[in-house]
Amino acid sequence: MSVSEMFAALQGALGQDQDIREEIRKVVQALEQTAREILTLLQGVHQGPGFQHIPKKCQKAREHFGTVRTQMESLKTKFPADQYYRFHEHWRFVLQRLVFLAAFLVYLESETLVTREAVAEILGIEAERERGFHLDIEDYLSGVLTLASELARLAVNSVTAGDYSRPLRISTFINELDSGFRLLNLKNDSLRKRYDGLKYDVKKIEEVVYDLSIRGLNKEATAGAGEEK
């Protein structure tokens, strides 16, 4: 084979690779648009009247995740099944964003932490690497850390909306989350940096709870929660 033939073959391989990346990019753009729509919908809870419409917003978000599953099915067909990590960088950011949105949705529904398996089911992908297109553990953890920041914001806005018990529940949840992350030996630089930001979310929520305590509103919140039970 001549040098020109060798490079012609290499160009053909490069062209095929570029075609794959372009097809992936198109689907990822569609996923990003759907993620923005879900984010806009769920962040409506931060507004005063939003607390009254959480169930309706969650139901609509579930419908949008149906679109996500369809788009994920399309993404799976755009590259060889055994080359997940070769192209992973193309969808890593949007996948982490979708994990956060799924986690936020489940928290609003039940005030619990969604499992990696449950997120994978919501997104229409696998939880285990051996089964194909899957939810990487680090992507799951990154999404959960974004949830913590969102809940810190929700705690502040809850007080503004006159919901004094929600920050107390968020504080308990975030502290449990922080305790869970402390059990992990994180060596990924990006994930470790994200985790370092969790302490600021914990501090922000603690300040909200402290402020409620100083103003005597935590007792009112506790009493209200008891009456609800």
**Each residue's pLDDT tens digit, 88-98:** 999 999 999 99
Specify the 3-state DSSP secondary structure of 113. coil
The pTM of the full predicted model, rounded to 2 decimals, is 0.89
188: left (phi over 0), alpha (psi -120 to 50) or beta: beta
CATH number at residue 110: 1.20.58.190
Q: Residue 210: its pLDDT value, please?
A: 92
Instruction: Tell me the residue range of the domain where 209 lies.
Output: 136-219
Query: What CA–CA distances, in Å, run from 103 to 19, 97, 112, 147, 212?
Result: 33, 10, 9, 7, 27
Residue 192 belongs to some domain of the structure: yes
Q: Residue 187: its pLDDT value, please?
A: 78
Q: Residue 223: its pLDDT value, please?
A: 52
CB 79 within 8 A of CB 89: no
Are 129 and 141 within one domain? Answer: no
Q: Residue 221: its pLDDT value, please?
A: 56
Q: Residue 216: its pLDDT value, please?
A: 81
Which of these three, 135, 164, 186, is where a domain ends? 135
Residue 147 belongs to some domain of the structure: yes
Q: How far from chain centre, in Å, is Cα 211? A: 29
CATH number at residue 201: 1.20.58.200
Q: Residue 229: its pLDDT value, please?
A: 41
Q: How far from chain centre, in Å, is Cα 93? A: 10
Query: Is 150 known as a binding-site position?
Result: yes
Residues of the chain with pLDDT under 50: 228-229
